[in-house]
Amino acid sequence: MSTDDGVRAWLRRHGAEQFAHPGGTLYAHLCRVSERLAVLGRSQDVQTAGLTHAVYGTDGFDLTLLDRADRAVLRDLVGADAEELVYLYGSCDRGRSWRELARTGEVFDRFTGQVRTPDDCQLRSLVDLSIVNELDVVEHDPAMMNRHAAYFRELFASWTPIASEQVIRDAERVLRA
């Protein structure tokens, strides 16, 4: 069994197929995010983080599949770099972080209340994962597209200096910017 197959089996065992999400289930969403990151040329660690990005819950999706006190479980499953990105993504207080992220590089941790400053590689991975996640949601929920497309066009344009070029091009295509 490949690592990816093992992670997918773990997600199913932890109920990811049981939770509704735009486009079907949380499991289907996680798989699509990972697959899109692969198509866009992101590393295996980023793809794996995409597959598990909601394990600790997120600022926009409060369900958790694993308590963050058990981070070692996910780290053993996906590796330290992918797990660190999953934690960074899940802990990101979007309201306090997203607007100024390209300027400050600061991520407000909603779990601890602390400010983190990821290195350039982590920041790019966080931004790319965030964009791909939101693109999947708006593509599968027309109401979300109608409500948030303008916001995401503006936000993602501000992230152009810190995002991967392929991811920005995909966002422009989806959001018709």
pLDDT of residue 2: 64
- Does the pTM surpass 0.85? The reply is yes
What 3-state class would DSSP assign to 168?
helix
- What would the pLDDT profile of 7-51 be if each residue is shown by its tens digit? 999 999 999 999 999 989 999 999 999 999 999 999 999 999 999
Q: pLDDT, tens digit, for every residue of 42-51?
A: 999 999 999 9
In the DSSP assignment, the letter for residue 18 is G
Long-range CB contacts for residues 62-65, cutoff 8 Å, separation at least 24: 63/19, 63/26, 65/11, 65/14, 65/15, 65/16
Mean pLDDT, range 53-62, rounded to an integer: 93
Portion of the chain with pLDDT greater than 70, in percent: 98
Coarse DSSP helix, strand, coil percentages of the chain, rounded to the nearest 5 percent: 65, 5, 25
| Helix pair angle (26-39, 44-52), 10° resolution | 160
Q: Which amino acid is at 27?
A: Y
pLDDT at residue number 4: 87
In the predicted model, is pLDDT for residue 1 greater than 60?
A: no
pLDDT single digits (tens) 126-157: 999 999 999 999 999 999 999 999 999 999 99
Note the pLDDT of residue 145. 94
Burial class (CB within 10 angstroms; exposed 0-12, middle 13-18, buried 19+) of 114: exposed
| pLDDT of the residue at 7 | 97
pLDDT tens per residue, range 67-85:
999 999 999 999 999 999 9
